Structure 1
């Protein structure tokens, strides 16, 4: 009789524990005891950073990092390959469902502004090849600039 009571009591305790801890959902805080309610992960530090996984991307069009599993949309990595095919060198990339896009900023300010640029004597608009520079409007060429010898 004693064996049956012990087993029944243990089953009741196990059932109670399983029913009370099923859907516990909460935010995770690292370096903080009160993670923000709108976050899944809240990381706080005054002297440390977040180290994103470093990978060697072989191509910006390859959707798998390990050759087997497809990358989920939004996956972010730090590429260490300066010669990634169809990519743009070393830096942060994210998977957009069709390719790895580099997260960039134009810190060098080498772009042409729609509001005009202040040019130096070494700046130019043109081509470093023998091919002409062609301005396009929709798909039709407009005002091609062709070099002629004097």
Structure 2
């Protein structure tokens, strides 16, 4: 049986290849041969959609459904209607902001606002208080 003895030339080639591989980054393309520049993942298709991961969150404070833990920016499609008061979730797209699940909203959704203080009108001073998420188009 013949034993292979590495030569200094073969060791040099292996070392160069390993060093070069540290600086190589690649894009992944699914159903495409040329991923869009600036993307990590490019999914292409003309008659199919992309299916987001579906989970059943237990509330906006859910830290146990995603294992071992959710990473900031993680996106999921929630299938459950659940959660205690103030932590409710309904089916839809959510992302983890580092401390809670936040729902993606668009103009098709409405935000509920419960007023907990009495408002008194005054004719001398006018102060507008902008509430985040509410339409301010007429102010």
Bin the TM-score by the shorter chain: 0.5 to 0.7
User: How many residues are aligned here?
Assistant: 115
- 1:106-133 CA-to-partner distances (Å, cap 9, x unmatched) read 437x679xxxxxxxxxxxxxxxxxxxx9
TM-score (norm 2): 0.65
Aligned to 2:81: 82
Query: Could you tell me the TM-score, scaled by structure 1's length?
Result: 0.61
Cα separation, 1, equivalents of 2:69 and 2:102 = 16
Tell me if 1:31 matches 2:31.
Answer: yes
Q: Tell me which residue corresponds to 2:21.
A: 21
Deviation at 1:7, TM superposition (A): 2.0
User: RMSD of aligned C-alpha atoms?
Assistant: 3.0
| Alignment match of 1:142 (pick from 114, 119, 135) | 119
| Cα offsets for 1:35-57 (capped at 9, x unmatched) | 11121111110011111111111
**Which of the pair is proportionally richer in strand?**
1
Of structures 1 and 2, the one with the larger relative CO (CA 8 A, separation 6+) is: 2
Quickly say closer, same or farther: Cα 1:90–1:46, change in 2 above 3 A: same
1:50-70 deviations in whole A, cap 9, x for unaligned? 11111111121123434x633
Which is higher, the Rg of structure 1 or of structure 2? 1
